[in-house]
Amino acid sequence: MKSWITRRMIGLMAAGLCMLSSSVAQAQQYSSVTITGTVNVAANVTNTSVSNVITLTDYDEICLQSRAYLDGAGTSGIIYTFDASSDGTSYDPAYFTWTVLATGASTNVVVTNVTVGAVGYLKLAGIGNGNGETNHLISLKYNEKPRRREFR
């Protein structure tokens, strides 16, 4: 009888540890997604052929990361334009823009945090290049992290 109780207690403790470890792993979830790979934007032009969608139905903040360089000298802004939607079908144009200053022919990596609140979807609608040189976007990525949850 005593060994049965001991085995039962060990089983319950193991089950409790499994549940605890799975909730901790869920709280630490973090993912990085590439919105678009290489996109070349000619001098003084806006590329509107991009339309990559970011689904944010479980998130209220994202981190954006741009990696880009120019063919030559230039420090004018590279402007990313994002449209927003609550249903993923109808989009509010130019919901927000993000301007990244170019650093000439050197690869420039810039990161920003964006609070989107209740917006469910963002769509990359355009990449503007105000420079006299072609912009080479190496990658535009976003990272999403669920809201912190308190366990009581």
CATH number at residue 83: 2.60.120.260
pLDDT at 57 (0 to 100): 87
pLDDT at 32 (0 to 100): 82
For 82, the domain range is 31-144
Q: What is the pTM of this model?
A: 0.75
pLDDT at 20 (0 to 100): 52
Residue 140 belongs to some domain of the structure:
yes
Residue 35 belongs to some domain of the structure:
yes
C-alpha distance from residue 129 to each of 38, 52, 76 (Å)? 15, 18, 8
Residue 19 CB-half CA count within 13 A = 7
CB 71 within 8 A of CB 118: no
Q: How confident is the model at residue 132 (pLDDT cuts 50, 70, 90)?
A: confident
Does residue 15 have a pLDDT over 80? no
DSSP the chain: -HHHHHHHHHHHHHHHHHHHHHHHHHHT--EEEEEE--EEE-TTEEE-----EEE-TT-SEEEEEEEEEESS---PEEEEEEEEESSSSS-EEEEEEEEEE--TTS-EEEEEEEE-TT--EEEEEEEEE-SSS-EEEEEEEEEE-PPP----
Residue 24 belongs to some domain of the structure:
no
Cα separation, 65 vs 52, whole angstroms: 15
pLDDT at 25 (0 to 100): 45
The two three-digit tokens of residue 132, written as one number: 């006299």
CB 34 within 8 A of CB 141: yes
Does residue 89 have a pLDDT over 50? yes
Residue 8 belongs to some domain of the structure:
no
Whole-number percent of the chain with pLDDT over 70: 75
Q: How confident is the model at residue 118 (pLDDT cuts 50, 70, 90)?
A: confident
The two three-digit tokens of residue 33, written as one number: 């997604």
Q: Is the dihedral of CA 38, 42, 44, 46 positive or negative?
A: negative
Residue 105 belongs to some domain of the structure:
yes
Residue 11 belongs to some domain of the structure:
no
* Mean pLDDT on 137-151: 73
Domain count, the chain: 1
pLDDT at 149 (0 to 100): 54
Does residue 113 have a pLDDT over 60? yes
